[in-house]
Structure 1
Amino acid sequence: MAEFKKRIVIVGGGFGGLSAAQALKNSPYEITIIDKTNHHLFQPLLYQVATAALSPADIAMPIRAIFTANKNIQVKMDEVWSIDIENKFVEISNSKISFDYLILALGTRHSYFGKPEWEKIAPGLKTLNDALVIREKILLSLEEAEKLNDKTGIDKYLTFVIVGGGPTGVELAGAIAEIAKQTMMKDFRNINAEKTKVILIEGSSRILSSYPESLSKKAKIDLEKFGVKVILNQIVQEIGSDYVRIADKIIKTKNIIWAAGNEAPSLLKSLHTKMDKAGRVLVNQDCSIHNHENIFVIGDAASFLDKKGNLLPGVAPVAIQQGKYVAKIILEEKKSGMRVPFTYMDKGNLATIGKAKAIAEIRGLKFSGLFAWLTWSFVHILFLIGYRNRVRVMAEWIWNYITKQHGIRLIVGKAKNN
């Protein structure tokens, strides 16, 4: 009689899901990875696709290609519609998949704070499609400004507003300022670079609020040197097709990018367990959910409190470490009470502001400038999936640095200006 193999279902092919799958790939289990796309995406560099510095293929890799040699792993490009935790199966478009262990690495989605209609006007940045939409909005606006040739109405095409001063918002603001004020201006004949405006709006008292205050201040100074106007302590009140309103001020713009909020996917409600205000699942110290030691939620979708009661941040290193941890638990087949609690090893924070400008905190050491930028570059190259991607990204960066040109500037109809 053939030996029964336990089944592991991993929902999500991001950092957490991929980390768990890689740790389990040589195990005796049958593993199914389910994701809405067919690729693993390196999200930290997604903003560079949005700003024409990299192409989509540079930062993504088909999940099937990653596990070609692992016959115990199958990949399904599909969406999980519901989870039956008692009968141990997930439901996809045309079938049910049973599991002995379930790992949910779903990430988060954009949150517009009760204003979902804003999404069509102010796209966020989570997927390759989001990046292409933003890229083409930027490029189309520059083309419209070129046609208007300094006539009335040109300002709204040369004004770029980013809502949210976290890492994504800061990196986008710096990159857009670089291309809109410097890199691409030599290609246009009728646009005055001095008329371009990049505005970063943050609701709290400082940008990069999860970073040390000294580094937040340095990042703000660097952004302002790049020509970015940073507005603090202001909440967006209204967004229209060609404007943003904050308090009693209206900013006319055709380019609004949302980087202000996240919320967990509604699928997690299928677990019928406790959640926090953002919809993240309150997990145990072993990343399992209450009363179900075989179901784990990791990464951004999990609300995990460390020993000091602090919520772990929604960053890639947390998801990667949790993925490896959960895989180890499954391999050891230890019961919930016998498991060593998960401990996050915080190796630091990095954020880039622009060319040769970045901030870093690594194990208590704070630094900025060129060395921080080189450190940021090295770390991101190191964590990219695939040797080919690493080489291509490095080559693009070297080319961009030397020539001051962003080469991925094609408009192919993915986006339309409102």
Structure 2
Amino acid sequence: MRPRIVIVGAGFGGMAAVKALKRADADVTLIDRTNHHLFQPLLYQVATAALSPADIATASRVLLRRHANATVVMADVVSVDAEARYVRLADGRTINYDFLVLATGAAYSFFGHGEWANHAKVLKSLEDALSIRETLLAAFERAEQCNDPDEVRRLLTFVVVGGGPTGVELAGTIAELARTTLARDFRHIDPASARIILCEAGNHILGAFPGDLPDYAARALRSLGVEVRLGEAVSLVDAEGIVLADERIAAETVLWCAGTQARPAADWLEAEAARNGAIKVAADCSVPGRPGVFAIGDVASFDGGSGKPLPGLAPVAKQQGRYVGRLLAARIAGRAPPPPFRYRDLGTMAVIGRSRAVADFGSFQLKGFLAWLAWSMVHLMLLVDFRSRMMVYVNWSWAWFTYGRGARLLTGRGELPQRSQATEISSKDFG
């Protein structure tokens, strides 16, 4: 009987593991709660109407069409029995395995304030991105129909919590959306008057970047009109906005990008976990005391020899997935396993806005237009298929020359509560 390999999660790590097992003499089952592989680094561009969902997501079955040994299952895994060697799905079914690879990723953490999730939006899935897009665009539409200046200010205040790459990219893109793309589209409001606030509890945004790159990023954001608030922690998020330090900020939209927590795979295995819930793994990405079980990507805490775990980045997940796939293929074929996993750091990038970005390649750093150009080329090449590369390139080119965005439709996904301050509209408003 051929070995059964179950991989949970169709993200960068899970998909890399499946592809590395293409020629293995094994039956590979990929389980994910969605039917697609998502290029998460560009998810913020879907949220800000720059790209459509199909530009950055491809059906998993399409990507694995030529992998004769791979089966795709769209389901939600709820537990793992490491002794009996099976995973349990939400509908009660079980799938047996000889080897299990957990690549379930991470979710945002509200630092013990789970109730804040009712009032702040996160960005981890296509559903999240579309919900944010609806909220952003609907805020301008509602402000256009409002005759209360205070309510208009509240509607056009957008707060981004967290100064990491996602928060910086969101804040910069929202500012460009308001000040360029939407600038001439409304009659009763000035979209350029929108207030965009980026909150970071630390002393710098992009704190993982070296040298003067964080300061450059802060200056670039401020030049776009973003308020960068440093050293001030959020103490409350509610339906009316946030409390930042001791200041109440009335805002319709709060976007949370301030920290992650691994999904509950460690609980499934009753394995040792790091502070963020990630499973502590061995040098070959295996889970100690759980034979045949591996964890990769954001759900794994891997000490690369520096005394601190590897960051939750797409390249880490891809390299670990490829490594575990090759290790399992070698084990099944009776070959010697590869040496312990070693992460190859190819650099870190963050885009700030049109023609501005920062990039750290270890031995040298880039900022400004050159960094933005490098960021664009790298992300185009990392997209998983030719169609996605072509569509993203066309959309980016269109946005570059026209300042336009092609995905600005409201489809009713993100229903916003109606406020009593909405103005009565007369026929002259349409004349």
Normalising by the residue count of structure 2, what TM-score does the alignment of the two structures yield? 0.94
Structure 2: 5+ residue stretches without partners: 418-431
The residue aligned with 1:154 is: 152
Query: Which residue of the partner structure matches residue 75 of structure 1?
Result: 72
Contact 2:204–2:230 (CA<8 Å) still a contact in 1?
yes
Q: Which residue of 2 aligns with 1:6?
A: 3
What is the alpha-carbon distance in structure 2 between the residues aligned to residue 42 and residue 228 of structure 1?
26
1:202 is aligned to 200
Deviations 1:348-373 (A, max 9, x none): 11110001000111232111111111
The amino acid of 1:385's aligned partner reads: V
In 1, are the aligned partners of 2:265 and 2:299 still within 8 Å (CA)?
A: no
> Take 2:188 and 2:23, find their aligned partners in 1: how far apart are those partners?
59
- Distance, in Å, in 1 between the alignment partners of 2:252 and 2:126 is 21
Residue 308 of structure 2 is aligned to residue 343 of structure 1: no
- Structure 1 position 151, deviation (Å): 3.2
What is the CA–CA distance in structure 2 between the aligned matches of 1:380 and 1:292, rounded to whole Å? 36
Q: 8 Å contact 2:358–2:372 — kept in the other structure? A: yes
Aligned to 2:151, the other structure's residue is in SS state coil
* Residues 176-219 of structure 1: per-residue CA shift (max 9 Å, x gap): 00001221111111222452110000011101111114111111
1:19-34 correspondence to structure 2 within 5 Å: 19-34=16-31
Cα deviation, residue 293, structure 1: 4.2
User: In the alignment, which residue of structure 1 is the partner of 2:240?
Assistant: 242
Q: CA deviation at 1:26?
A: 2.1
Structure 1 residue 84 corresponds to structure 2 residue 78: no
Give the partner amino acid of 1:154. Answer: V
* Farther-moved stretch of structure 1 (106-115 vs 189-198): 189-198
**Partner-residue secondary structure (3-state), 2:158:** strand
C-alpha displacement at 1:339, in angstroms?
A: 5.3
Partner of 1:16: 13
Partner of 2:261: 263
Amino acid aligned to 2:397 = I
How is 1:154-303 mapped onto 2 (pairs within 5 angstroms)? 154-303=152-301
Instruction: Tell me the alpha carbon deviations over residues 280-314 of structure 1, each in whole angstroms, 9 at most, x when there is no partner.
Output: 00100110011234210000011111122121000
Corresponding residue for residue 96 of structure 1: 94
Deviations 1:234-289 (A, max 9, x none): 11101111221012101111011000111111233111111011110010011001
In structure 2, the residue matched to 1:376 is: 375
| Alpha-carbon distance in structure 2 between the residues aligned to 1:131 and 1:83 | 30
Question: Aligned to 2:292, what secondary structure does the other structure show?
Answer: strand
1:386 Cα deviation after fit: 1.1
Which residue does 1:316 correspond to in 2? 314
Structure 2 Cα separation of the partners of residues 65 and 153 of structure 1: 47
Return the match for 1:306 from 304, 308, 320: 304
Which residue of 132, 135, 138 maps to 1:134? 132
Distance in 2, matches of 1:166 and 1:203, equals: 11
Distance 2:58 2:331 in 1: 31
Secondary structure in 2 matching 1:289? coil
Match of residue 47 from structure 1: 44
Paired AA for residue 392 in structure 1:
M
Shift of 1:385: 1.1
Q: Distance in 2 between matches of 1:152 and 1:350?
A: 38
- Residue by residue over 1:21-50, the C-alpha shift from the partner in whole angstroms, topping out at 9 and shown as x without a partner, is 011122211000000000000000000000
Please list the CA deviations of residues 39-94 of structure 1 after superposition, one character each: whole Å capped at 9, or x if unmatched: 00000000000000000000000001111122211000001111011111111123
Supply the AA of the counterpart residue of 2:76. Answer: E
Task: Compare 295-304 and 357-366 and name the one that shifted more.
Answer: 357-366
Q: Is the 8 A contact 1:150 1:191 kept in 2?
A: no
Kept in 2, the 8 Å contact 1:12–1:105? The answer is yes
Residue identity (%): 43
Distance 2:141 2:96 in 1: 52
- Which letter does structure 2 place at the counterpart of 1:404? Y
Correspondence for 1:64:
61
Using the TM superposition, name which of 112-121 and 394-403 deviates more. 112-121
Determine the structure 2 residue equivalent to 1:365.
Answer: 364
Does 42-51 or 238-247 show the bigger shift?
A: 238-247
* Residue type at the aligned position of 2:81: D
TM-score by length of 1: 0.96
1:97 partner SS: strand
Name the CA distance, whole Å, in 2 between partners of 1:79 and 1:174.
Answer: 34
Whether the aligned pair in 1 keeps the contact of 2:122 and 2:255 (CA below 8 Å) is yes
Paired with 1:193 and 1:30, the residues of 2 have a C-alpha distance of 54
The residue type paired with residue 221 of structure 1 is R
Of stretches 284-293 and 82-91 in structure 1, the one that deviates more from structure 2 is: 284-293
- RMSD over aligned Cα, in angstroms? 1.6
Q: Classify the secondary structure of the residue corresponding to 1:285.
A: coil
- Could you say if the C-alpha distance between residues 278 and 360 of structure 1 is closer, same or farther in structure 2, counting changes exceeding 3 Å? same
